[in-house]
């Protein structure tokens, strides 16, 4: 789903109960990560819940596989991954996620801990994008060598 579609979908929902339900629905649609992939090296620091993020680089775009042990956090992950889906490294770095979260109204309606965790996830995604731009793509090779 595009950023505009995401913003539009949230704008059609009446109250925050509906938006939380939609967030949970998005989280439920997020594919579960295999337990073997939930390693410490892929864990996002700064999250109250457990969150894992694995980057995949195809030579042009970066995609991400992510999961959490918390329902609302899975929904936030689904939104973040949709924002960065099918983007080049430079496009990822150019996106202002907080502006998008403001437009869909999530920033003021998620707890400070969840917001902090969301920003940690975004920071890690942008870190991987920076590594790609610097030519450091070894994480793709490493992840595939470890049968991820």
Residue 10 three-state SS: helix
Could you tell me if 70 and 49 are in contact, meaning their C-beta atoms sit under 8 angstroms apart?
yes
**Would you list the DSSP string of 77-121?**
HHHHHHHHTTEEHHHHHH--HHHHHHHHT-TTTS-HHHHHHHHHH
Residue 19 three-state SS: helix
Catalytic residue positions, numbered: 47
């Amino acid at each position: 789903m595009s950023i505009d579609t995401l913003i539009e979908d949230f704008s059609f929902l009446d109250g925050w109960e509906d938006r939380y339900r939609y967030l949970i629905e998005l989280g439920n649609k997020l594919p579960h990560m295999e337990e073997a992939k939930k390693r410490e090296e892929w864990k996002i620091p700064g999250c109250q819940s457990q969150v894992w993020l694995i980057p995949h680089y195809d030579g042009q775009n970066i995609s991400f596989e992510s999961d959490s042990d918390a329902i609302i956090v899975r929904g936030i992950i689904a939104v973040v991954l949709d924002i960065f889906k099918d983007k080049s490294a430079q496009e990822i770095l150019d996106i202002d996620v907080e502006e998008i979260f403001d437009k869909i109204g999530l920033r003021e309606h998620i707890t400070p801990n969840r917001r902090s965790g969301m920003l940690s996830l975004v920071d890690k995604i942008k870190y991987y994008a920076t590594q790609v731009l610097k030519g450091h793509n070894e994480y793709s090779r490493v992840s595939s060598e470890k049968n991820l």
